[in-house]
Amino acid sequence: MAASAEDGVCQPLKDDRGFSLPTGAPAAPPPHRRAAQAGGADAALGAAASASRLPDFSWPPPAPTERVVLQRKQMLASPAPAHPSLADVGDHLIAALQAAGYSEYSVYAVPGGFAIVTRLERVEADGTPSAAALRFQAPDAAASGGLGRLFGSPKGYYRQIVLIANADIIPPGAAPGPQTAADLLQGGASRLTAGYRKTRLTDDYQVAALIYEYQKAGADGGLKGLTVGHNDALTNLARSGVYPALASAGP
């Protein structure tokens, strides 16, 4: 089966359920898509990625403190749909985040998939969230600009979680700076768009959890990204509440 061409652009074919079948990528793709197409992920994503209209996530992503790939069974609600789409994965991940108390998050497009970014939260040294009054503390007027909430927040440990679902290798990025946490959250969408519901979930897809740990030494100090965290990725996911929610979150 081959894709038809019109005006020099390959038109993706669909099966009888409306899922996009892997075909050629659009001619003359924009630069940020070329690397993914070279790896084959955008062919699987088909027209859904180009039609998603989600803001683009920083790629490659900033280097996380820890990372782990979720088990296949954690990617979908149980019972899983008979013919799951990439959007079914997103629905399950968002439901798990909400169950764990992450009511604020942003959704972005990445090469061959999507990313979900949580709001920066204050945590204890063992990885459990701080008390509700401190966990997502409002910004303080002591500093200006996007760093207001970071400089005005009390000293201690902070964490941000990024869940990336795609079929490509995630390349290493630069170390995060003090502005990274705010930049990762700002500018994203509130949900996945309809194009992802037409993208069939194949065995090539996986979900990687990127954990960003930060430390703030004092009320007037800056936020410092940690290259070695206090807890491993699975411990962070478990104590954040996300890991158990992945096993119980419904559709």
Q: Coil, strand or helix: which one is 243?
A: helix
pLDDT at 183: 86
- Per the DSSP assignment, residues forming a β-bridge with 52 are none
Find out whether 205 and 89 touch, Cβ atoms under 8 Å: yes
Residue 36 counted as domain residue: no
Asked if the structure places residue 25 within a domain, the reply is no
* 42, containing H or E segment: helix 41-45
Q: What angle do CA 167, 180, 36 make, to 5 degrees?
A: 20
Question: Tens digit of pLDDT for each residue in 106-155?
Answer: 999 999 999 999 999 999 999 999 999 899 984 342 333 444 445 456 78
Q: Tokens 């061409």 correspond to what residue? A: 5
**Stated pTM of the model:** 0.75
Q: Is residue 91 part of a domain?
A: yes
Domain, as residue range, for 169:
55-248
Residue 41 included in any domain: no
**47 found inside a domain:** no
More confident residue, 216 or 91: 91
239 in a structural domain:
yes
**Tens digit of each residue's pLDDT (9 = 90 or more) over 35-66:** 444 444 455 554 444 444 899 999 999 999 99
Q: Residue 186: inside a domain, yes or no?
A: yes
Structural domain total, the chain: 1
* β pairing state of 9-11 and 121-123: unpaired
| Any domain includes 93 | yes
pLDDT tens digit string along 143-196? 334 444 454 567 889 999 999 999 999 998 998 887 888 888 888 999 999 999
